[in-house]
Homo-oligomer: A and B are copies of this chain.
Amino acid sequence: MQPIIDASPPKWHLGHTTWFFEKLFLEEFKQDYKVFHPDYSYVFNSYYETVGKRVLRTNRGNLSRPSVDEVYAYRKYVDEQIVEFLHSNLDLSPDQKKILEIGIQHEQQHQELFLYDIKYILGTNPLFPEYQKKIKPGPSNKARPAKFLAVERGIYDIGYHGEEFCYDNELGRHQVYLHDFEISDQLVTNEAYMEFIEAGGYQKFQYWYSDAWDWVNRENKQAPFHWHNIDGQWHIYTLNGLEKIDPFEPVSHVSQFEAAAYANWKGLRLPTEFEWEVACNLHEPTIPADSNFVEKNLFKPFSPENDLQFYGQLWEWTNSAYLPYPYFKTETGALGEYNGKFMVNQMVLRGGSYATPRDHIRPTYRNFFYPHLNWHFTGIRLARHI
């Protein structure tokens, strides 16, 4: 099922990441490749081109077929074809290597989206089913008080440089001038965010952007997504089921609208994506060794003093719109649709979440979503001018 337009049915993620390898690698490079099913290209692509002769208004929410078993058969077939190709083509061309690499990165991105969508689907089900049962630790300990880390004005380098994989939207290494600022070493906690709720934050227009205030009223927002007030006590739906809010965990499932309103209420602001990247480079935070999708366990302070605490645990909203870097170039062909076409109306998030594959957590990685969305794993880090 596809409960909101921004999410996809879990099965679709499986088929779509498989289709990526079939369409962009096997059809391109494997001689006499026979597609698994002639209609899957239509069903699992995420691109604009309408395919073939038949026009049918369909959507991802309507995929009762192919069945999950059929999608797994599709994956198996494509996997085998790829392996076979690799065995008989030991010297891959640069193009082939590039497509394979981006295919893997693409699938890793969908592994995370997969969890967002599952959490949405189960968390809006009246039974609040558990996705996984975990031995849960007790509530978190109160972290040490937040500290603001200073960054001095100057010209800084922005964007990826190195030999590893990165996306096209991180390229175009360039310079940005920053003014003096400070950034919190902590994410905002549930406890701190509940103060905002209790202070009537969702009822006072002055903290919100105009669009945000419309959203609050239209959607009757009272709290972050997945929060439920049961008999006066705030609960949160996690992949382990419905639980009491842990006050010392970072607040999650906030939209950029909520993050900005909270910052506004505190007399502070969100960092820009450039400030964030520079602060991250300066403080070289420790990244969690392994993000194994256990919601609870990773929400612990783990980094040394003067680090960005909780780095890589929740995607951190910035106040930067998602725009091209100065030397951004759209790739030709299908890859060209990967990032560039989304560069309007969305806001940048930085860092990574407990569901992000470890290799995707890097200072230059640019994630982006519409500012009203909050079904993904988001948090708030504050900044201020000096």
Residues in A lying within 8 Å of B, measured CB to CB = 1, 3, 39, 42-43, 48-49, 53-54, 56-58, 61-66, 121-122, 124-127, 129, 155, 174-177, 179, 181, 205-206, 208-213, 228, 230-231, 256-257, 260, 269, 319-321, 323-324, 326-327, 336-337, 341-345, 347, 371, 385
CA distance A260 to B177 in the complex (A): 26
A66 vs chain B, min Cβ distance (A): 7
Q: Which residues of B have CB within 8 Å of A343? A: 209
A206 vs chain B, min Cβ distance (A): 7
CA distance A56 to B126 in the complex (A): 7
CA distance A353 to B124 in the complex (A): 37
A320 vs chain B, min Cβ distance (A): 7
A230-B54, A345-B345 known; A62+B175 contact, CB < 8 A:
no
A176-B177, A321-B323, A327-B385 known; A341+B61 contact, CB < 8 A:
no
Residue from B48, B62, B122, B231 in contact with A205 in the complex, judged by beta carbons closer than 8 Å: B48
Q: Which residue of B lies closest to A319 (CB)?
A: B323
Q: Are B326 and A385 in contact (CB under 8 A)?
A: yes
Q: Are B371 and A345 in contact (CB under 8 A)?
A: yes
Q: Are B129 and A65 in contact (CB under 8 A)?
A: yes
CA distance A181 to B325 in the complex (A): 13
User: In the complex, which of the residues A39, A43, A64, A213 has the most CB atoms of chain B within 10 Å of its own CB atom?
Assistant: A64
In the assembled complex, 15 residue pairs joining A and B whose CB atoms fall closer than 8 Å, in A order, are A1-B62, A43-B126, A43-B127, A48-B213, A58-B125, A58-B126, A62-B125, A64-B125, A65-B127, A177-B177, A210-B341, A256-B344, A257-B344, A269-B324, A319-B324
A39 vs chain B, min Cβ distance (A): 5
CA distance A210 to B345 in the complex (A): 10
Q: Which residue of B lies closest to A337 (CB)?
A: B206
The 5 closest A-B pairs by CB, nearest first: A321-B321, A48-B205, A177-B177, A65-B129, A210-B341
CA distance A256 to B211 in the complex (A): 19
Q: A321-B321, A327-B385 are in contact. List 9 more A-B contacts (CB 8 A).
A: A3-B61, A43-B127, A49-B205, A56-B126, A62-B125, A206-B336, A209-B345, A319-B324, A320-B323
User: In the complex, which of the residues A3, A155, A210, A385 has the most CB atoms of chain B within 10 Å of its own CB atom?
Assistant: A210
Q: Which residues of B have CB within 8 Å of A326? A: 179, 181, 385
A167 vs chain B, min Cβ distance (A): 16
Q: Which residues of B have CB within 8 Å of A122? A: 64-65
A362 vs chain B, min Cβ distance (A): 23
Q: Which residues of B have CB within 8 Å of A176? A: 177
Q: Which residues of B have CB within 8 Å of A321? A: 321, 323
Q: Which residues of B have CB within 8 Å of A337? A: 206
Q: Are A175 and B174 in contact (CB under 8 A)?
A: no
